[in-house]
Amino acid sequence: MIDVTIFTDSNKQYVGFKIIGHAGYADSGSDIVCAAVSTLSVNTVNSIEKFTDDTIEASTDDSVGSLEMKFTSNVSKESKLLIDSMLLGINDIMNSFSKTYIKISYKEV
């Protein structure tokens, strides 16, 4: 299962996210659920870096299939929109392929 954790502050504003795990929809290399979530999450990080002035820290661990991103500056409305868009895509994948493969949770930090 892919675990998506959205980190928020006490005002429910985004401060980062972590995505970890493998969907298990198909064999490694053929898992379109994993590929779709990976594409959305990596594109979100790349878009925040390229299209906003926000600063972030991002790290990956291929051995467990994880991507973690945290803002190191205030979060712009553009970054909020990009994360909202990522979540829209992930929710669409969940609705298309069953909630068995992906879980989204929110954590105040």
Cα–Cα distance between 49 and 31 in angstroms, integer?
A: 27
In this prediction, residue 50 carries a pLDDT of 98
Q: Which domain holds residue 79?
A: 2-108
**pLDDT value at position 48?**
99
pLDDT at 98 over 90: no
Mean per-residue pLDDT over the chain, rounded: 96
CATH at 20: 3.30.70.1490
Secondary structure, 3-state, the chain: CEEEEEEECCCCCEEEEEEECCCCCCCCCCCHHHHHHHHHHHHHHHHHHHHCCCCEEEEEECCCCEEEEEECCCCCHHHHHHHHHHHHHHHHHHHHHCCCCEEEEEEEC
Provide the number of structural domains found in the chain.
1
Q: What is the pLDDT of residues 29-66, one digit of tens each?
A: 899 999 999 999 999 999 999 999 999 999 999 889 99
Percent of the chain with pLDDT over 70: 100
